[in-house]
Amino acid sequence: MRLSRGYWQTLKETPSDAEVISQKLMLRSGLIYKTAAGLYTYLPMAFRTLKKVEKIVREELDRIGCFEVQMPLMTPAELWKESGRWDTMGPQMLKVQDRAERELCFSPTNEETITDVFRKTISSYKQLPVCLYQINTKFRDEIRPRFGLMRAREFSMKDGYSLHLDKESLDKFYDEIYGAYSNIFRRLGLEFIAVEADGGAMASGGAKTHEFQVVAGNGEDDVVHVPQTGFAANIEKAMTERRGLTTLPASELTKFATPNQKTCEEVCSAHGFDITHSLKSIIMVATIKGKDQFFMVMILGDDSLNEVKFKNKVAADDIRPAHQAELETLGLVKGSMGPTVETDKLKIIFDETVDMNSSYVVGANEDGFHFKGFVPSRDTKAKHFRADMRLAKDGDFIGEHAITMKKGIEVGHIFQLGDKYTKAMKVTVLNDKGQAVTPIMGCYGIGVSRVIASSIEQNHDENGIIWPASIAPYDVYLGYIGKAPEFKDIAESIFSELNSQFEVLFDDRGMGPGAMFKDADLLGLPIRVTLGERDFNATGEIEVKIRKTGETLKVKKEELAATIKTKLSELGKWA
Ligand code: ATP
Ligand code: MG
């Protein structure tokens, strides 16, 4: 592509509402245009990268025997009602009515659509296993679209779905897809870890699920990592242990004044208690089988609630913190809530780190007062039980090793669904004995557009993007510095020669070297080739610069193509 006739505009200033580096660089380097919150136009450079990411995804999935399909953007409400998700997906799912007042939604994912396809087209075990995938636009009305392509409302996702007769077949395929994902993210040039994820209520019975997380400071996910063993898990799933806790012996339950001291930190520091000798009360509302139920979760004063563990434990469809008005109906006083409350309107869950026979500081349900000497097993009047409720944090242990917390961006997710959809949507196939049985499914997602943002988060410097060679919009940035018309002709001939072997962006705009190099660095193609009139006429040498390493070579015209080929290969272009 020659820039004099191309479409490419860079910005001098970073748009003020851009928050993370990938978003800033994508906007500044003219890759994307923000049409509205969470809605982006992919300009030519980003579109080329998007197609390259898609190609790698396709190649690896096709290699393990998956087939590409395309499902409709809209899904009729009936299918979602069959699975039960029409009412549980929440406001992320954008619902509309057509002219005949039929309800539809913009697909946020496609389990229902594919399950319907499976049940109408697959009737025998002989047609199994099978995996179909698509790469297309998904819409999720995210409450906070942000970070550019990282959390958009409209985005490109690869979603795949497999159907199996039994768990053995699903497990075997799961390993294959895990391998394909590892190849995909390796070829995309990403530093990633596959982490054990939370499978929700579905994961009971040994269903596996992994997230592929790109390690990056701006990631929104917390990953628990044990470098010594390579173990990695999503924070929501990680079972870690707190070590070195001390406890206070049981003592008499005593009320004491805590004026204006609302939090565990405030009460403990004012009265000389260790924060781990206090308990925090968190009031949650869980919607279970359509009914709201109240829970008081008790965790150590400096711990946080793991909402996913809570949701799974009580098997809720949805959970949220209780509102002020609800606290009042339960007889609880904000800033002083505690587990001595006597009511059958809530159940209390003590986190497993709480020693049921030791003393703790807790709220007294009276404004400005707390209790000390609260012994859970002795002083709890409401119905209660114990469970693991806390969020893992730095300093926790798994076995003999201390964990490390890392920030990650979820770029892929693989999931054994079991019979969740096939059962709800009444899919059956005949097994080899001619009996109708319910097959099981797996689903496999990749955030294709999010991959681009993640790649930039990992690969950039102060001057701009540093594309992995496998997904760069072009291979080579070819620029020339010189005024003579004969020299322009030489540049043209080098362009056509290189362009027949590589993807070349030819900067023939006639800009000065300063501005041209700035643009080249900002866009970050793997190799920059500069033809300088003076050098070329004097020695016949052409400059080749590697964006990633800054390495500069001087080569003759005859060696140019071979040098580029070697360098691109070293940079993983054909990985
Ligand atoms: P997240 O936890 O980040 O919201 P998710 O777990 O809801 O994602 P999945 O349903 O697993 O997402 O979707 C598959 C993949 O689609 C994710 O792994 C992610 O890479 C991508 N994805 C999900 N939501 C978005 C979004 N709003 N913008 C861009 N990519 C997204
Ligand atoms: Mg996910």
Pocket test for ligand 1, best of 450, 451, 454 (most atoms within 8 A of CB): 450
Model confidence pLDDT, tens digit, residues 241-281: 999 999 999 999 999 999 999 999 999 999 999 999 999 99
Pocket test for ligand 1, best of 410, 416, 446 (most atoms within 8 A of CB): 410
H-helix or E-strand spanning residue 62: helix 44-63
Pocket test for ligand 1, best of 157, 212, 443 (most atoms within 8 A of CB): 157
Ligand with minimal distance to 210 CA: 2
The pLDDT, as a whole number, for residue 236 is 86
pLDDT at 200 over 70: no
Average pLDDT over residues 128-136: 98
The pLDDT, as a whole number, for residue 216 is 92
Place of tokens 């991959």: 451
Model confidence pLDDT, tens digit, residues 434-452: 999 999 999 999 999 999 9
The pLDDT, as a whole number, for residue 317 is 87
- CA of 110 from ligand 1 middle (Å) equals 13
Q: In whole angstroms, what is the distance from residue 323 CA to residue 332 CA? A: 11
The three-class DSSP label of residue 486 is helix
**Which residue ranges have their beta carbon within 6 Å of ligand 1?**
109, 140, 142, 151-152, 155, 157, 410-413, 445, 447, 449-450
- CA of 470 from ligand 2 middle (Å) equals 25
- CA of 410 from ligand 1 middle (Å) equals 7
Q: Which atom of ligand 1 is nearest to the CA of 220?
A: 3
Proportion of the chain above pLDDT 90, given as a percent? 90
Q: In whole angstroms, what is the distance from residue 493 CA to residue 96 CA? A: 56
Nearest-CA residue for ligand 1 atom 27 is 151
Model confidence pLDDT, tens digit, residues 317-355: 889 999 999 999 998 998 899 999 998 999 999 999 999
Q: In whole angstroms, what is the distance from residue 210 CA to residue 225 CA? A: 14
- CA of 84 from ligand 1 middle (Å) equals 21
Nearest-CA residue for ligand 1 atom 19 is 447
- CA of 193 from ligand 2 middle (Å) equals 14
Backbone angles phi, psi at 214, to 5 degrees: -90, 125
- CA of 285 from ligand 1 middle (Å) equals 26
Place of tokens 């005593």: 254
CA 417-451-312 angle, 5° bins? 30
Backbone angles phi, psi at 200, to 5 degrees: 65, -160
* Helices (H), ranges, 87-164: 111-121
**Confidence tier at 520 by pLDDT (50, 70, 90):** very high
* Cβ 526 vs Cβ 548: under 8 Å: yes
Model confidence pLDDT, tens digit, residues 449-501: 999 999 999 999 999 999 999 999 999 999 999 989 999 999 999 999 999 99
The pLDDT, as a whole number, for residue 197 is 87
The pLDDT, as a whole number, for residue 205 is 58
Mean pLDDT of the chain: 95
Nearest-CA residue for ligand 1 atom 21 is 447
The pLDDT, as a whole number, for residue 201 is 54
Q: Which atom of ligand 1 is nearest to the CA of 108?
A: 10
Nearest-CA residue for ligand 1 atom 16 is 447
Nearest-CA residue for ligand 1 atom 14 is 445
The pLDDT, as a whole number, for residue 203 is 46
Model confidence pLDDT, tens digit, residues 149-195: 999 999 999 999 999 999 999 999 999 999 999 999 999 999 999 99
Place of tokens 């965790």: 299
- CA of 543 from ligand 1 middle (Å) equals 42
| Burial status of residue 5 (CB atoms within 10 A of its CB: 0-12, 13-18, 19 or more) | exposed
Average pLDDT over residues 117-128: 97
Nearest-CA residue for ligand 1 atom 11 is 413
Proportion of the chain above pLDDT 70, given as a percent? 99
Please enumerate in sequence order all residues whose Cβ is within 8 A of that of 272, keeping only pairs 6 or more positions apart, or say none: none
Q: Which atom of ligand 1 is nearest to the CA of 140?
A: 27
Average pLDDT over residues 498-510: 96
Q: How many CA atoms lie within 13 A of 251 on its CB side?
A: 12
* Sheet strands side by side (includes 103-106): 74-76, 103-106, 95-97
Supply the DSSP string of 302-357, one letter for each residue: T--B-HHHHHHHTT-SEEEEPPHHHHHHTT--TTS--TT---SSEEEEEETTS-TT
- CA of 211 from ligand 2 middle (Å) equals 7
Model confidence pLDDT, tens digit, residues 81-101: 999 999 888 899 999 999 999
- CA of 233 from ligand 1 middle (Å) equals 17
H-helix or E-strand spanning residue 268: helix 264-271
Supply the DSSP string of 155-183, one letter for each residue: EEEEEEEEEESSHHHHHHHHHHHHHHHHH
Q: Any bridge partners for residue 414, and if so which?
A: 210, 444
**Confidence tier at 198 by pLDDT (50, 70, 90):** confident
